[in-house]
Structure 1
């Protein structure tokens, strides 16, 4: 699999490659799928989804981050992604097969939209424990919850001629979809 180049910064940490692998594995994207990302930020997830899904829509409420998404898509030779400058759930299409929520803003309303429109696969990545608990409750209340996975990644670096590890904060991957 080709690496994702992110030469343009969005002033926010992109979803780490290892977390993207788990996220995209849970979404099980295929060439017939319409993938929608809420909060595209750097575009890292959008780039990888565009390599798998037949149709991709990325929604971002901050114009400067949407421009970063656009630049990083170009840097990875990814075209044919619909970019929407707007706030969820208003800007969301009604025909998504898979949905990724990269942030926690308005996620209840986004989950309502996903439940109403029958989105098969939904993944939400959360870095704060309290938000993870609230998100699981929100998924359950809408009969969307399947599982939650904690991903903890540590990356090796050289220290005094040997390898040591820097650990990243854990990410909670909340998984579900319409029945």
Structure 2
């Protein structure tokens, strides 16, 4: 698979490549799917989803972040993505097969929308422990919950002629979907 280039900053960190791999694996996208990302930011997840899904929609409420998504899509040669500037859940399409929440803003409303519209696969990434616990409860209360995975990624770097590691904050990947 092609590497994802993110030359345009969105004033927020992109989902790390290792986390994107697990996230996309949980979403199990194929060319018949309509994938929707809530909070596209840099577009990192949207770019990789566009390489797998037949139809892709990226929703972002901040115009400057949507522009970063647009520029990063172009930098990766990804064209067929619908970009929506708007707030979730109001601006969400009703025909998503797979939905990714990269942040926790309005996630309860997004989960309600997923239940109402029958989204098959929902994945949410969370970095704060308290939010992760609340989100797992919200998934369970809506009969969406399948699993939560905690990822701890460490990246090697050279130190005095040997390899040492810098660790990233843990990320909780919450996965499920409407049954």
* TM superposition score category, shorter chain reference: over 0.9
How many aligned positions are there? 179
- Mapped to 2, the partners of 1:29 and 1:113 lie a distance apart of 20
Partner of 1:73: 73
Partner of 1:131: 131
1:153 is aligned to 2:153: yes
Partner of 2:93: 93
1:45 is aligned to 2:42: no
1:19 is aligned to 2:19: yes
Give TM-score, length-normalised by structure 1: 1.00
Which 5+ residue runs of structure 2 have no aligned equivalent?
Answer: none
1:121 is aligned to 2:93: no
- Show structure 1 runs of 4+ deviating over 2 A: none
Give TM-score, length-normalised by structure 2: 1.00
Partner of 1:29: 29
Partner of 1:108: 108
Which 5+ residue runs of structure 1 have no aligned equivalent?
Answer: none
- Mapped to 2, the partners of 1:88 and 1:57 lie a distance apart of 13
Deviation at 1:50, TM superposition (A): 0.1
Deviation at 1:10, TM superposition (A): 0.4
- Mapped to 2, the partners of 1:163 and 1:68 lie a distance apart of 33
- Mapped to 2, the partners of 1:11 and 1:82 lie a distance apart of 22
Partner of 1:83: 83
Deviation at 1:120, TM superposition (A): 0.3
- RMSD over aligned CA atoms reads 0.3
Partner of 2:173: 173
CA distances 1:19-67 after superposition (whole Å, capped 9, x unpaired): 0000000000000000000000000000000000000000000000000
